[in-house]
């Protein structure tokens, strides 16, 4: 019989009608509205049957046997010494169990379920993040190994012994190598030589840079150099005199280290790194940057290079970019010097594409460029991995485009060739020396020009050469220097008032010119023709009148007509372009 039939409990859960009687320790059925035994009569209830009523006991026992759940142990007393059961009537029988206890227990189960679910979610997320980190690490490792595997390194004999605050000189070589798909179809014979050579100087403060192009057809002397063979053995290649500069690589087994030696010998500049590119590099890099903008004043149709472009603006890449940097017969006089101008325009424009074209801010395009660059370029073995190459690029990349100049080594026609068949040039030492010194001493060409203009403005007004009075003494080791200078001053410079005073009382290392306060104009004229530095000019306070100035030639005297000090500057007649100049147009 269920609870509804016995007591009319309605919606009450039958389980809630069983309560523990603390007097007997048994569970008993208690229906709503029924009197509870063991409770004295009172308002709203009848008196309880005496506990000693046998019939009731028997009836209760029978009812208990039928209706109570299995007997349970009593809970222990809260006091260890209190083990006696409570007396009848001392403790009322509790009513129905509070359903909230069950609700709380159910809520506890739900909380545990939610906590368990949260732990599972967190565990899943942690595992996912760990997997993503692992995948990213494997991806980074793969890219690192791939880019490192792309790099080709050679022993170039360079010195990478420089630190923070030092200038950096990088030699860029473009070879005539035609390995690779489609490159054997180009006109002419491959010489494996240095077809293009640019010495890039980056200042110590990374505020300016100078790119110095060296003509491949310049006649020069190539010093002996030591090369490393494929089997690891070394061999010394003898020097060559009076040969084209592009024979510093390829000819007689010379390798890139011989180009490094030749450039260092010519310029007096220590080279820190080498980067070399072939035909494939031009094609791949120009495509990786999305094409290189160029400009032509006149159309070019050069069957030998394969370039056919109308006048105006173009963007070249791949095969067309290679044709552009190779063409020589379609511009100017059809010589190497005109091609160098095209190459300088191309390099400057590519630099702008990298810095201003959004490549550096796009991981995808930057990776494509890095992949193309490492596959296409050969570097010196001082660059041990791709990270070294990245750090070098970031370092020199701080130079603003507006302060990156490109010039060509000053040359003149080869006097040993007939005028109607000249194909080579020779170094113009007088005009090249100031540029070499500018790089050696890390001087900003723009700043040098400004300082020279300021010095000229502050200098005294020169007087006519015929008014210059000077006594010439020889204080150096060159025998006959005073007489040679006297002859040059009188016969070439038109200074008849100059006199040879023979040897100076004491020898001295540097040349000096002493003059009075009223002879500043004469000193300015003599200093200009002899190329005297400001340090050589020594003015005294008193006037000298007609007393001649005193010129003492030191050990720095190199001969009549040769300046005592080589100015560190770009000569006025040497053309240069800056990397940010987008108006440059090949003609």
Can you give the pLDDT at residue 362?
A: 81
d(CA 239, CA 243): 10
The helix or strand, by DSSP H or E, that contains position 209, with its residue range, turns out to be strand 209-213
Q: Which residues pair with 539 in a beta bridge?
A: 515
Which 8-state DSSP code applies to residue 245?
G
Task: Answer whether 151's CB lies under 8 Å from 376's CB.
Answer: no
Q: Read off φ and ψ for residue 228, nearest 5 degrees.
A: -105, 125
Q: Which phi-psi region, left, alpha or beta, contains residue 333 (left: φ > 0; alpha: ψ -120 to 50)?
A: alpha
Could you identify the residue written with the tokens 């494929």? Answer: 230
Task: Answer whether 407's CB lies under 8 Å from 208's CB.
Answer: no
Can you give the pLDDT at residue 28?
A: 67
The helix or strand, by DSSP H or E, that contains position 197, with its residue range, turns out to be strand 194-202
Can you give the pLDDT at residue 167?
A: 95
Helices 99-150 and 363-376 sit at what angle, rounded to 10 degrees?
Answer: 30
Domains recognised in the chain with CATH numbers: 1-97 (no CATH), 153-443 (3.40.630.190), 455-553 (3.30.70)
d(CA 385, CA 152): 10
d(CA 385, CA 383): 6
Can you give the pLDDT at residue 144?
A: 64
d(CA 283, CA 517): 65
Q: What is the pLDDT along the chain (587 residues), one digit of tens a residue?
A: 444 444 444 455 555 566 667 777 666 666 555 555 544 444 444 444 444 444 444 344 444 444 444 454 444 444 444 444 554 445 555 555 454 445 455 555 555 555 566 666 556 565 566 655 555 555 555 566 778 888 899 999 888 788 888 999 999 999 876 454 554 444 444 456 889 999 999 999 999 999 999 999 999 999 999 998 888 889 999 999 999 999 999 999 999 999 999 999 999 999 999 999 998 899 999 999 999 999 999 999 988 888 999 999 999 999 999 999 989 877 877 788 889 999 999 999 999 988 887 887 788 888 888 888 888 899 999 998 888 888 898 898 899 999 999 999 999 999 999 988 888 999 999 899 999 999 999 988 777 666 666 666 666 789 999 999 999 999 999 899 999 999 999 999 999 999 999 999 999 999 999 999 999 999 999 998 998 888 899 999 899 999 999 999 999 898 888 888 777 778 878 888 888 888 888 87
Q: Three-state DSSP class for 170? A: strand
Can you give the pLDDT at residue 394?
A: 87
d(CA 162, CA 169): 10
Antiparallel, parallel or unpaired: β 312-316 and 209-213? unpaired
Could you identify the residue written with the tokens 């000229």? Answer: 456
d(CA 511, CA 565): 10
SS (H, E, C) 67-115: HCCCCCCCCCCCCCCCCCCCCCCCCCCCCCCCHHHHHHHHHHHHHHHHH
Can you give the pLDDT at residue 15?
A: 54
Q: What is the token pair recorded at 151? A: 């790099």
Q: Name the nearest CA neighbour of 215 among 148, 144, 266, 279.
A: 266
Task: Answer whether 488's CB lies under 8 Å from 534's CB.
Answer: no
d(CA 176, CA 184): 11
């Amino acid at each position: 019989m269920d609870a509804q039939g016995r007591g009319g409990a309605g919606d009450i859960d039958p389980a809630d009608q069983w309560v523990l009687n603390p007097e007997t320790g048994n569970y008993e059925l208690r229906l709503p509205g029924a009197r509870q035994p063991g409770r004295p009569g009172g308002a709203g209830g009848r008196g309880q049957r005496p506990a000693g009523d046998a019939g009731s006991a028997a009836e209760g026992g029978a009812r208990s046997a039928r209706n109570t759940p299995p007997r349970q142990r009593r809970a222990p007393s809260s006091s260890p010494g209190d083990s006696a059961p409570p007396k009848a009537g001392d403790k009322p029988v509790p009513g129905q169990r509070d359903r909230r206890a069950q609700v709380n227990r159910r809520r506890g189960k739900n909380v545990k379920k939610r906590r368990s679910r949260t732990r599972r979610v967190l565990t899943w997320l942690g595992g996912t993040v760990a997997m993503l980190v692992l995948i990213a690490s494997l991806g980074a490792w793969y890219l690192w190994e791939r880019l490192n595997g792309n790099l080709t390194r050679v022993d170039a004999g360079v010195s990478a012994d420089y630190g923070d605050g030092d200038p950096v000189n990088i030699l860029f070589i473009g070879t005539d190598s035609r390995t690779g798909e489609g490159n054997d179809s180009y006109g002419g014979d491959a010489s494996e030589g240095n077809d293009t050579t640019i010495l890039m100087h980056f200042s110590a403060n990374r505020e300016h840079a100078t790119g110095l192009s060296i003509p491949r057809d310049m006649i020069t002397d190539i010093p002996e150099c030591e090369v490393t063979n494929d089997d690891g053995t070394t061999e010394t290649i003898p020097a060559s005199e009076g040969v084209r500069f592009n024979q510093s690589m390829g000819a007689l087994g010379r390798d890139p280290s011989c180009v490094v030696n030749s450039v260092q010998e010519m310029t007096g500049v220590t080279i820190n790194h080498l980067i070399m590119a072939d035909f494939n590099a031009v094609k791949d890099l120009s495509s990786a940057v999305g094409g290189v903008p160029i400009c032509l004043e006149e159309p070019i149709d050069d069957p030998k290079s394969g370039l056919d472009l109308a006048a105006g603006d173009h963007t070249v890449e791949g095969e067309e970019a290679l044709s552009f940097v190779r063409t020589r017969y379609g511009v100017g006089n059809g010589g190497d010097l005109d091609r160098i101008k095209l190459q300088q325009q191309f390099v400057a424009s590519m630099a702008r594409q990298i810095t201003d074209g959004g490549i550096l801010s796009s991981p995808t395009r930057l990776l494509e460029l890095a992949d193309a660059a490492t596959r296409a370029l050969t570097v010196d073995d001082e660059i041990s991995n791709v990270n070294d190459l990245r750090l070098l690029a970031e370092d020199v990349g701080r130079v603003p485009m507006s302060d990156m100049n490109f010039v060509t080594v000053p040359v003149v026609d080869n006097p040993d060739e007939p005028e109607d068949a000249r194909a080579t040039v020779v170094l113009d030492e007088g005009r090249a020396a100031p540029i070499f010194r500018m790089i050696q001493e890390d001087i900003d060409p723009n700043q040098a020009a400004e300082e020279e203009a300021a010095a000229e403005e502050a200098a005294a007004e020169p007087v006519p050469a015929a008014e210059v009075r000077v006594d010439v003494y020889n204080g150096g080791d060159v025998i006959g220097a005073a007489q040679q200078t006297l002859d040059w001053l009188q016969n070439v410079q038109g200074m008849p008032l100059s006199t040879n005073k023979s040897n100076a009382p004491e020898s001295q290392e540097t040349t000096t010119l002493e003059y009075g306060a009223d002879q500043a104009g004469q000193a300015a004229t003599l200093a200009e023709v002899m190329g005297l530095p400001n340090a050589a000019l020594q003015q005294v306070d008193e006037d000298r009148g007609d007393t001649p100035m005193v010129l003492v030639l030191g050990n720095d005297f190199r001969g009549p007509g040769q300046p005592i000090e080589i100015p560190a500057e770009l000569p006025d007649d040497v053309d240069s372009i800056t990397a940010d100049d987008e108006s440059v147009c090949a003609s």
